[in-house]
Amino acid sequence: MSELYGERAIREAKLEVFDNRTPERDYTIQFTIPEFTCLCPRSGFPDFATLRVRYVPGPRCVELKSLKLYINAFRDRHVYHEDVVNSVLTDLVTAMAPRYCEVVGDFNVRGNIKTVVRAAHRDPAWGGEPDAWWEPP
């Protein structure tokens, strides 16, 4: 059977960005990805998580369809929880150059252990604070 169009779109996924149309103002963008999945690098069993991303844009914002495809590409990757969160953060920072960006991976219980991984980036020139009202898990 040949590769389906969705499989090809996921395989070729690249984060796309667009210009921030309000760069003079600090504002927060956040999204929740409730159906994240990847594979355990030791067992090959699937891991499931909710990813939460919030950022204060700099010159660029991430395009959501490209983010969806990028995230779906993890489903066949053998990757540790910590590496998921740090890879997503690094790729978003590289693509957007945000003033602030935080990624939280809230992984489902596995082997009686609940894992939450949080990583953040702050542009050294940015003196602002991320919104205090956002409460990740």
What is the residue type of 102?
A: E
Contact 16, 62 (CB under 8 A): yes
- Residues annotated as catalytic (active site), given as ranges: 40, 47
Tell me the C-alpha distance between 129 and 116, whole Å.
22
Tell me the C-alpha distance between 66 and 15, whole Å.
5
Contact 124, 114 (CB under 8 A): no
Q: Where are the alpha helices (DSSP H) in the chain?
A: 5-11, 64-72, 81-96
> What is the dihedral sign for C-alpha 67, 69, 70, 73?
positive
